[in-house]
Structure 1
Amino acid sequence: MRTAPGRARWLVPLVLLVVWLGVGGTLGPYAGKLGEVATNDQAAFLPRSAESTKVIEAREAFDQSETLPAIVVWTAGGDRVTDAQQSAATRAVAELAGRPGIVGAPSPALRSDDGQALQAVVQLEPDLGDELSDVLGDVEERAASVPGATAQTAGPAASQADLSQAFAGIDGLLLGVALGAVLLILLLVYRSVLLPFLIIFQSVLALGLACAVVYALADRDVVRVDGQVQGILSILVIGAATDYALLLAARFREELAVRDDRFAAALAAVRRSFGAITASAATVALALLALLASDLTNNRALGPVGAIGIVCAVLSSLTFLPAALALLGRKAYWPSRPSRSDASTEGHRVWRRVAARVGARPRRTWVVTALGLAVLAAFSPSLSAKGVPLDEIFVNDAPSVSAQKTLGEHFPGGSGNPAVIIADADRAAEVTA
Structure 2
Amino acid sequence: MGGPPAQTARRRRTALPWTLLALWIAVLALAGPFAGKLGDVQHDRAVDYLPSGADSTQVAEVRARLPGGETTELVLVYHRDGGLSAADRQAAERQVAAVENELELVATPEGVPSKDGDTLMYPVASTAPGQDEKARDAFVNDVRDLAHDTGTDAGAGMSVDVGGPGALATDAAEVYGALDGPLLYTTVAVVALLLILIYRSPFLWLVPLAVAAVADFLSMGVAYGLNQTFGTTVSGQSSGVMTILVFGAGTDYALLIVARYREELRRIERPHDAMRAALRGCGPAVLASSGTVAAGLLCLLAADLNSSRGMGPLGAVGVLCALVAMLTLLPAVLVLLGRRVFWPLVPAFGSRPKARRSLFAAMGSSAGRRPLAVLGAGAVLLGALALGAFALPGTLKQQDSFTSAPDSVTAMKTLAAAYPEKGTQPITVIAPTGRADDAVGTARSTDGVADVRRGRSGGGWTEISVVAEGAPQSAAETATIEALRDGLDGRGAYVGGPSAEQLDLKDTNARDRLVVVPIVLAAVLLILVALLRSLVAPLLLLVAVVAVWGASLGIAGLVFGPVFGFDGTDPGLGLLSFVFLVALGVDYGIFLMHRMREEVLGGADTGTAALTALRTTGAVIASAGLVLAATFAVLTNMPLVQLVELGFVIAVGVLLDTFLVRTYLVTSASLALGRKVWWPGPLSRAPETPAPPAAEPALARTP
Please state which band the TM-score falls in when normalised by the shorter chain: 0.7 to 0.9
**Residue 90 of structure 1: CA displacement?**
3.9
Paired letter, 1:288: L
Deviation track 1:300-334 (CA, whole Å, cap 9, x = no partner) reads 21111101111111100100011111112211201
Counterpart CA distance in 2 for 1:364 and 1:36 is 55
1:5 aligns with 2:9: yes
Structure 2 residue aligned with 1:283, among 292, 296, 302? 292
**Residue 384 of structure 1: CA displacement?**
2.6
Paired letter, 1:398: P
Determine the structure 1 residue equivalent to 2:414. Answer: 406
Paired letter, 2:410: S
Decide whether the 8 Å contact of 1:106 with 1:120 is kept in 2: no
Counterpart CA distance in 2 for 1:131 and 1:195 is 47
**Residue 33 of structure 1: CA displacement?**
3.2
Determine the structure 1 residue equivalent to 2:569. Answer: none
**Residue 410 of structure 1: CA displacement?**
3.0
Determine the structure 1 residue equivalent to 2:112. Answer: 110
Determine the structure 2 residue equivalent to 1:93. Answer: 96
Q: Which has the higher contact order (CA 8 A, sep 6+)?
A: 1
Determine the structure 2 residue equivalent to 1:14. Answer: 18
Over 3 Å counting, the alpha-carbon distance change for 1:275 and 1:366 in structure 2 is farther
1:122 aligns with 2:124: yes
Gaps of 5+ in 2: 446-703
Q: SS where residue 204 of structure 2 aligns?
A: helix
Counterparts of 1:267-346 in structure 2, within 5 Å, are 267-343=276-352
**Residue 5 of structure 1: CA displacement?**
2.2
Decide whether the 8 Å contact of 2:192 with 2:206 is kept in 1: yes
Paired letter, 2:113: R
Counterpart CA distance in 1 for 2:337 and 2:78 is 68
**Residue 220 of structure 1: CA displacement?**
3.1
Q: SS where residue 289 of structure 2 aligns?
A: helix
Percent sequence identity is 32
Counterparts of 1:369-380 in structure 2, within 5 Å, are 371=379, 375=383, 378-379=386-387
Structure 2 residue aligned with 1:258, among 264, 267, 274? 267
Over 3 Å counting, the alpha-carbon distance change for 1:420 and 1:291 in structure 2 is same
Determine the structure 2 residue equivalent to 1:214. Answer: 223
Counterpart CA distance in 1 for 2:153 and 2:166 is 21
**Residue 167 of structure 1: CA displacement?**
4.1
Counterpart CA distance in 1 for 2:153 and 2:429 is 35
Deviation track 1:169-197 (CA, whole Å, cap 9, x = no partner) reads 32221111111111111111111122110
Q: Which moved more, 1:63-72 or 1:300-309?
A: 63-72
1:387 aligns with 2:395: yes
**Residue 356 of structure 1: CA displacement?**
8.1
Determine the structure 1 residue equivalent to 2:615. Answer: none
Paired letter, 1:214: A
Runs ≥4 in structure 1, deviation > 6 angstroms?
A: 358-361, 363-370
Over 3 Å counting, the alpha-carbon distance change for 1:143 and 1:374 in structure 2 is same
Deviation track 1:89-140 (CA, whole Å, cap 9, x = no partner) reads 445323334646x443441333334444322122242534253564233332
Deviation track 1:145-172 (CA, whole Å, cap 9, x = no partner) reads 6834723222223333433444453222
1:203 aligns with 2:212: yes
Decide whether the 8 Å contact of 1:192 with 1:333 is kept in 2: yes
Decide whether the 8 Å contact of 1:55 with 1:422 is kept in 2: no
1:55 aligns with 2:66: no
**Residue 377 of structure 1: CA displacement?**
8.1
Decide whether the 8 Å contact of 1:89 with 1:109 is kept in 2: no
Query: TM-score by structure 1 length?
Result: 0.84
Decide whether the 8 Å contact of 2:95 with 2:150 is kept in 1: yes
Counterpart CA distance in 2 for 1:174 and 1:279 is 29
**Residue 357 of structure 1: CA displacement?**
5.8
Counterpart CA distance in 2 for 1:385 and 1:342 is 57
Query: TM-score by structure 2 length?
Result: 0.54
Counterpart CA distance in 1 for 2:286 and 2:382 is 26
**Residue 419 of structure 1: CA displacement?**
1.4
Counterpart CA distance in 2 for 1:191 and 1:37 is 41
Q: SS where residue 121 of structure 1 aligns?
A: strand
Paired letter, 2:218: L
**Residue 34 of structure 1: CA displacement?**
1.8
Decide whether the 8 Å contact of 1:154 with 1:400 is kept in 2: yes
Paired letter, 1:41: R
**Residue 207 of structure 1: CA displacement?**
0.7
Counterpart CA distance in 1 for 2:184 and 2:39 is 15
Q: SS where residue 76 of structure 2 aligns?
A: strand
Decide whether the 8 Å contact of 1:81 with 1:115 is kept in 2: no
Deviation track 1:234-287 (CA, whole Å, cap 9, x = no partner) reads 111110110001111111111100011111111111111111111110121122
Decide whether the 8 Å contact of 1:162 with 1:398 is kept in 2: yes
1:39 aligns with 2:43: yes
Decide whether the 8 Å contact of 1:46 with 1:296 is kept in 2: yes
Gaps of 5+ in 1: none
Decide whether the 8 Å contact of 1:30 with 1:215 is kept in 2: yes
> Root-mean-square deviation (CA), in Å?
3.6
Q: SS where residue 71 of structure 1 aligns?
A: strand
**Residue 369 of structure 1: CA displacement?**
10
Decide whether the 8 Å contact of 1:89 with 1:146 is kept in 2: no
